Amino acid sequence: RAVVQYMLWFYVLTRIIENDGDIYAFCATMIGTATLIALHGIYQYIIAVPIPSHWVSQAEMGVRTRVFSIIGSPNIMGSYLVMIAPLTAAFAYYLKPLWAKMLMWGCTFLMCLACLFTFSRGAWLGMAVAVFIFALYRDRKLIALMALAAGVAVFIPQVANRITFLFTSEFDLANMFGGRGGRRREGLKLLYSVNPWFGYGLGRFGGAVAMQNQINSNISYFYMDNYYLKTLVEMGYIGLGGFIFTLAGFVFNAMRSIHRTKDEPVSTIAVGMFAGLAGVMTHCLTENIFEVPYMNAYFWGAAAIVIYIGFLRARKQQGRQHRSL
């Protein structure tokens, strides 16, 4: 249920959206909420909110805090902002009034700044992918702007510490013993000890369901911090292949949706959503993003709107015109 149920939001939203007003309402709610969360995160950084000691290593003591807002996790907050920031930038291109454009750019800046203050390297990577995809479709000058912003960011001591720590012996040691490298090794060891084609069993290892229902006392339970690897261990090569096929099908049809509406302004909204979702899929390489119920629901809800814009929007508009005749 934790894996499949939230995918149903895709089918629900593609059926209940009736017009562009519904799309705008959905997007406005997401942008408004994300802006408030970003502001709260920036406030947390200013006051240096206390955080658990295990959120940073001893070698990264220059990182005084990591923001998390009401979400409770810097990594998940970062991924949430990765999803919404490109959509907000899309509205900066989509809207006509200057004040509305400036407002959207301001909200986008706040989200990017709050994402930086999460000090989530996976979220940073996801944001870079999201900006790159958005820039390819809408404004390639943003690639240079992203490079400039990244160049400035690395001169911030806390950011530099988070990045350079990846290339230290301390990181190698922490990674292999208790870090993601060690978890990957143990997960694959379990996979090959059972059935590599079908896995250990859905919901039985590497995620929230397994952590809450530890049914085997002979193994140590932990989060895999890689949703694709978790899926591989639980569902084997066949299950992971099916999941990747599902995501690839969405990516392919999202690109078709954008292409079908390329001459319409609403295409920019689809581009923004698609870019954000691509960033989340990238972040899943280092975090169990889809394990968080609302992130899973947001993802498939946004995916539904991308597909609706390219495949169902024109059909529903024609249906309303026929009914009015």
pLDDT of 116 over the 90 cut: yes
pLDDT value, residue 321: 65
Instruction: Encode burial over 289-307: b for 16+ CB neighbours within 10 A, e otherwise.
Output: bbbbeebbbbbbbbbbbbb
What does the pLDDT read at residue 115? 98
Residue recorded with tokens 């581009």: 271
The CA-atom distances, in angstroms, between 293 and each of 210, 297, 321 are: 15, 6, 38
For residues 253 and 307, is the Cβ–Cβ distance under 8 A? yes
Mean pLDDT of 292-309: 95
* Res 325 pLDDT > 60: no
For the chain, percent of residues with pLDDT exceeding 70: 95
pLDDT band at 209 (very low <50, low <70, confident <90, very high): confident
pTM listed for this prediction? 0.93
Residue 280 CA to residue 290 CA, distance in Å, equals 9
